[in-house]
């Protein structure tokens, strides 16, 4: 995991790996195209109204979060569910370990959940000899390879069929096979046994619905349906920000989520689950536990200006459209969430100085904000975080900007210094300064300028020109 400094070596490796570059570029490119045709005015004329509505609903919910959490809890309990509140990952693991022990469950199946990635749930359970098996095809591959997701929606985007063939042969003892259809069937066969044998199924949740006490899970494979309906116990783990007030709000959110993520008007499966099976129902889990996780979310909630970071519905569109993500991929970002959304939430969870470079890893082109289905103003939040980093720093940059601020507010000094700079400036090439004079070649300044050319200062300043013109002197 990356720390306080830009992971230069790994970035170089990523950029030099042409196979990986093409995998990232092709995958995100496809998702960009699919999204674009799914939200075009011909097929979704009210797309912008839907985004606006989604933003308003999320803002309203988060501004009244305690009310809706209590409503959710009351309704879930009324339907026979059990609500568990957890401050952090440790409490989640303790709860699951306790329950598994009580019920004598040793095998757990899991469907894709970024929230459980965030709290390293699998490692925590493994540590106590509980097998938790990922069942989403991409996540299963990553679990066998001991890697973390590369992308919110396409977790194994960076893996080739050849790597999967090696992995399956090595870890599952099956024949080496590079045909993707066969690899998929192998996973189906191996995991089907697990679904039917598991004592507990753990899912995430895309939405929590307050007026229904329900969780909503969207997926394409069917593994989340299996996880939530085959084992006798279903545990859903969700961040407290996943709430929406009403089931009817799903008309807005489901439309936006599928289209923004993969260009699907609706994903193959959407499960709306409120509690365990009821008397008379043919099948389904006998127990339903809903884990509500904070893990730093209340910290983000407190900052009214940055609160909208919590609106995110994890569609991944900002990753696909980000020129930085498309170059450096998902594993060079610190934390669970990569791309633009990761660059705004990771610093808020961990403190800006944990990775002070992260908010700067953006061109501020604004593509992320343009495609965000809930209209999170990511570039503005990045700028806010950059200011925080600068305020925390006591280094060169801060002194330099202070000096500049002083200079810019003192006209006489400004005139003097700029006149001096113009005179001292070395000869450039074709009007550009490409190399610094020797006395300025040091430290951060040299590094900063090594990537930038500066236009040569004009021989005559605008102020001089203006004074001369006012006196009726030559205009040229």
Partner 1 sequence: MSREAILERVRTALGRKPGDVPTGPPPVYLSQTGRTTEQRIAAFTVALESLAGRAVRCSSPAVARATVNAMIAGKHAIASLSSYLHELQIAAEVPDAAVYREACAAADVGITSADYALADTGTLVLFSDAEESRLVSLLPPRHIAVVPVSRLIDSLDDLLGRVPLPADATSSMVFITGPSRTADIEQILVRGVHGPGDVTVVLVDD
Site for partner 1 in 2-31 (CB under 8 A): 23, 26-27, 30
Binding mask 294-313 for partner 1 (x = CB under 8 A): x---xx-xx-----------
138 binds partner 1 (CB under 8 A): yes
* Listed ranges 5-13, 47-55, 120-128, 418-426: which one lies at the site for partner 1 (CB under 8 A): 47-55
Question: 456 is written with which tokens?
Answer: 């040569």
Instruction: Provide the β-strand partners of residue 208.
Output: 215, 243
Residues 6+ apart with CB under 8 A from 441: none
Task: List the one residue from 41, 281, 423, 472 that touches partner 1 (CB under 8 A).
Answer: 281
**Are residues 112 and 142 in contact, defined by beta-carbon separation less than 8 angstroms?**
no
Tell me the β-bridge partners of 432: 429, 455
In angstroms, the CA 213 to CA 73 distance is 6
By the rule CB under 8 A, 271 interacts with partner 1: yes
| Residue of the chain from 66, 104, 129, 452 that contacts partner 1 (CB under 8 A) | 66
* Binding map of partner 1 across residues 67-106, x = CB under 8 A, - = no contact: xxxx----x---xx----xxx---x---------------
123 Cβ partners below 8 Å, 6+ apart? none
Whichever of 149 and 334 has its CB closer to partner 1, that residue is: 149
In 22-177, beta strands by DSSP E: 82-86, 107-110, 131-134
**272 within 8 A of 248, measured Cβ to Cβ:** no
Among 100, 254, 317, 343, binds partner 1 (CB under 8 A): 254
Q: Does 377 bind partner 1 (CB under 8 A)?
A: no
Residue of the chain from 119, 141, 257, 352 that contacts partner 1 (CB under 8 A)? 141
In terms of CB distance, is 76 or 361 closer to partner 1?
76
Nearest partner of 92 among 117, 56, 72, judged by Cα: 117
Query: Are the CB atoms for 202 and 249 separated by under 8 Å?
Result: no
Tokens of 28: 């995100």
Beta bridge partners of 288: 234
CA 50 – CA 257 distance, rounded (Å): 11
SS (H, E, C) 100-123: HHHHCCCEEEECCCHHHHHCCHHH
Indicate the SS3 state at residue 271. Answer: strand
Q: Is 212 in the site for partner 1 (CB under 8 A)?
A: yes
Of the candidate residues 201, 275, 334, 359, the single one contacting partner 1 (CB under 8 A): 275
Least Cα distance to 198 among 237, 228, 218 occurs for 228
* Residue of 4, 74, 266, 440 that binds partner 1 (CB under 8 A): 266
Of 53 and 418, CB closest to partner 1: 53
Is residue 235 within 8 A of residue 96, CB to CB? The reply is yes
Q: Which residues contact 445 (CB under 8 A, 6 or more apart)?
A: 396, 436
| Chain residues 180-199 in contact with partner 1, contact rule CB under 8 A | 180-181, 183-184, 187-188, 191-192, 196
Q: Which of 101, 127, 128, 161 binds partner 1 (CB under 8 A)?
A: 161
Interface with partner 1 (CB under 8 A), residue from 122, 135, 320, 346: 135
Restricting to residues 423-452, which ones interact with partner 1 according to CB under 8 A? none
| # residues near partner 1 by CB under 8 A | 100
Q: Is 245 in the site for partner 1 (CB under 8 A)?
A: yes
**Least Cβ distance, residue 423 to partner 1 (angstroms):** 56
Q: Judged by CB under 8 A, which of 122, 203, 206, 223 binds partner 1?
A: 223
């Amino acid at each position: 995991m990356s720390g306080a400094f830009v992971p230069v070596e790994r970035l170089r490796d990523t950029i030099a790996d042409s196979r990986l570059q093409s995998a990232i570029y092709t995958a995100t490119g496809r998702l960009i195209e699919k999204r674009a045709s799914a939200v075009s005015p011909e097929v979704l004329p009210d797309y912008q109204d839907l985004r606006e509505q989604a933003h308003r609903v999320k803002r309203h919910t988060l501004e009244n979060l305690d009310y809706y959490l209590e409503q959710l809890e009351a309704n879930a309990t009324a339907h026979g569910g059990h609500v568990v509140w957890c401050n952090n990952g440790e409490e989640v693991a303790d709860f699951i370990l306790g329950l598994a022990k009580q019920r004598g469950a040793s095998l757990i199946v899991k469907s894709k959940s970024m929230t459980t990635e965030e709290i390293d749930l699998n490692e925590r359970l493994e540590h106590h000899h509980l097998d938790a098996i990922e069942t989403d095809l991409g996540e299963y591959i990553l679990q066998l390879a001991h890697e973390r997701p590369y992308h919110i929606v396409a977790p194994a985007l960076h893996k080739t069929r050849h790597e999967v063939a090696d992995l399956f042969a090595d870890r599952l003892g099956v024949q080496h096979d590079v045909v993707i259809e066969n690899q998929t069937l192998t996973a189906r066969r191996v995991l089907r046994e697990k679904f039917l044998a598991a004592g507990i199924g753990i899912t995430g949740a895309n939405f929590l619905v307050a007026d229904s006490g329900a969780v909503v899970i969207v997926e394409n494979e069917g593994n989340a349906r299996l996880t939530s309906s085959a084992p006798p116990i279903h545990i859903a783990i969700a961040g407290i920000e996943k709430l929406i007030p009403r089931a009817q709000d799903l008309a807005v959110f489901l439309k936006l989520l599928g289209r923004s993520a993969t260009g699907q008007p609706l994903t193959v499966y959407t499960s709306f689950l409120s509690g365990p099976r009821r008397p008379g129902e043919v099948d389904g889990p006998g127990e339903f536990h809903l884990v509500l996780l904070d893990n730093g979310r209340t910290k983000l909630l407190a900052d009214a200006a940055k609160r909208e970071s919590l609106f995110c519905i994890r569609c991944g569109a900002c990753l696909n459209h980000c020129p930085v993500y498309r170059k450096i991929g998902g594993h060079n970002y610190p934390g669970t969430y990569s791309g633009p959304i990761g660059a705004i939430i990771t610093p808020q969870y961990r403190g800006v100085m944990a990775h002070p470079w992260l908010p700067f890893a953006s061109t501020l082109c604004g593509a992320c904000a343009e495609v965000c289905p809930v209209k999170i103003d990511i570039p503005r939040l990045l700028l806010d975080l950059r200011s925080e980093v600068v305020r925390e720093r006591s280094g060169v940059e801060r002194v330099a900007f202070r000096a500049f601020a002083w200079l810019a507010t003192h006209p006489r000094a400004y005139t003097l210094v700029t006149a001096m700079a113009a005179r001292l400036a070395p000869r450039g090439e074709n009007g550009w300064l490409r190399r610094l004079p020797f006395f300025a070649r040091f430290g951060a300044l040299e590094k900063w300028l090594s990537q930038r050319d500066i236009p040569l200062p004009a021989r005559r300043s605008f102020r001089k020109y203006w004074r001369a013109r006012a006196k009726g002197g030559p205009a040229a």
